[in-house]
Amino acid sequence: MKDSDELLRWYDGAKREMPWRSGRDPYTIWVSEIMLQQTRVETVRPYFNRFIERFPTVDSLAAAAQDEVLALWSGLGYYRRARQLHAAARQIVADGGRMPSSEEELQKLPGVGPYTAAAVASIAFGVVAPVLDGNVERVLSRVLALEGDPRRAATRRRLLEAAGRLLDPARPGDSNQALMELGATVCTPKSPECGECPLAAGCAGLATGSPEHYPQLPERRKPRRQHRVAVVVERDARVLLIRRPDDSELLAGTWEFPWAPAGKDGGIEQSLAERFGGNWQIDRRLGRVRHAITHRALEVEVVRGSVAGGEAIAQGIESGWFTAEEIERLASSSLVGKILRCAGAAGTSTAADSGSRPCGP
Ligand code: SF4
Please, what CATH class does the domain formed by 3-213 belong to? mainly alpha
Residue 311 has pLDDT above 70, yes or no: no
Is 197 near ligand 1, meaning CB less than 6 Å away?
yes
- Cα distances (Å, whole numbers) of residue 227 to 98, 249, 297, 347: 47, 18, 9, 23
Q: Which comes out higher in pLDDT, residue 349 or 82?
A: 82
Average pLDDT over residues 149-165: 92
Ligand 1 centroid, distance to 2 Cα (angstroms)? 16
Is 187 near ligand 1, meaning CB less than 6 Å away?
yes
Percent helix, strand and coil across the chain, each rounded to 5? Answer: 45, 15, 35
Q: Which comes out higher in pLDDT, residue 309 or 114?
A: 114
The highest-confidence range among 63-67, 241-245, 344-348, by mean pLDDT, is 63-67
Is 140 near ligand 1, meaning CB less than 6 Å away?
no
State the pLDDT confidence band at 38, using cuts at 50, 70 and 90: confident
Residue 357 has pLDDT above 90, yes or no: no
- pLDDT tens, position by position, 114-130: 999 999 999 999 999 99
**Which ligand 1 atom is at minimum distance from the Cα of 203?**
4
State the pLDDT confidence band at 356, using cuts at 50, 70 and 90: very low
- pLDDT tens, position by position, 198-242: 999 999 999 999 999 999 988 878 888 999 999 999 988 899 999
Q: Please tell me the predicted confidence (pLDDT) of residue 353.
A: 41
- Of 6, 17, 33, 103, the catalytic one is 33
Q: Please tell me the predicted confidence (pLDDT) of residue 349.
A: 55
Average pLDDT over residues 331-356: 70
- pLDDT tens, position by position, 265-283: 778 999 998 888 888 999 9
Q: Which comes out higher in pLDDT, residue 83 or 23?
A: 83
- pLDDT tens, position by position, 63-76: 999 989 998 998 88
CA separation for the pair 183, 30 (Å, rounded): 21
Q: Which comes out higher in pLDDT, residue 11 or 314?
A: 11
Q: Please tell me the predicted confidence (pLDDT) of residue 42.
A: 92
Is 240 near ligand 1, meaning CB less than 6 Å away?
no
Backbone angles phi, psi at 290, to 5 degrees: -115, 150
Provide the whole-model pTM: 0.74
Ligand 1 centroid, distance to 140 Cα (angstroms)? 9
**Which ligand 1 atom is at minimum distance from the Cα of 193?**
7
Q: Long-range contacts: 221-226, Cβ < 8 Å, 24+?
A: 221/295, 223/292, 223/295, 223/296, 223/297, 224/295, 224/296, 224/297, 225/296, 225/297, 225/299, 226/261, 226/296, 226/297, 226/298, 226/299
Residue 189 has pLDDT above 90, yes or no: yes
User: Would you say 315 and 278 are in contact if contact means Cβ atoms under 8 Å apart?
Assistant: no
Please, what CATH class does the domain formed by 224-352 belong to? alpha beta
Instruction: Give percent above pLDDT 70 in the chain.
Output: 94
Is 203 near ligand 1, meaning CB less than 6 Å away?
yes
**Which ligand 1 atom is at minimum distance from the Cα of 194?**
2
**Which ligand 1 atom is at minimum distance from the Cα of 186?**
7
Say whether 33 is catalytic.
Answer: yes
Among protein residues, the one with the nearest Cα to ligand 1's atom 1 is 200
Is 143 near ligand 1, meaning CB less than 6 Å away?
yes
Single-letter amino acid code for the residue at 201? A
Domain ranges in the chain?
A: 3-213, 224-352
Q: Please tell me the predicted confidence (pLDDT) of residue 35.
A: 96
Residue 310 has pLDDT above 70, yes or no: no
**Which ligand 1 atom is at minimum distance from the Cα of 200?**
1
Residue 24 has pLDDT above 80, yes or no: yes
| Ligand 1, pocket-test mutation among 11, 137, 142, most atoms within 8 A of CB | 142
Q: Please tell me the predicted confidence (pLDDT) of residue 318.
A: 86
Single-letter amino acid code for the residue at 12? D
Is 194 near ligand 1, meaning CB less than 6 Å away?
yes
Mean pLDDT for all residues in the chain: 89
Average pLDDT over residues 349-353: 48
CA separation for the pair 145, 237 (Å, rounded): 60
Instruction: Give percent above pLDDT 90 in the chain.
Output: 67
User: Would you say 239 and 351 are in contact if contact means Cβ atoms under 8 Å apart?
Assistant: yes
| Ligand 1, pocket-test mutation among 3, 4, 137, 143, most atoms within 8 A of CB | 143
Ligand 1 centroid, distance to 139 Cα (angstroms)? 6
Among protein residues, the one with the nearest Cα to ligand 1's atom 8 is 187
Three-class secondary structure of residue 261 per DSSP: strand
State the pLDDT confidence band at 345, using cuts at 50, 70 and 90: low
Average pLDDT over residues 183-210: 96
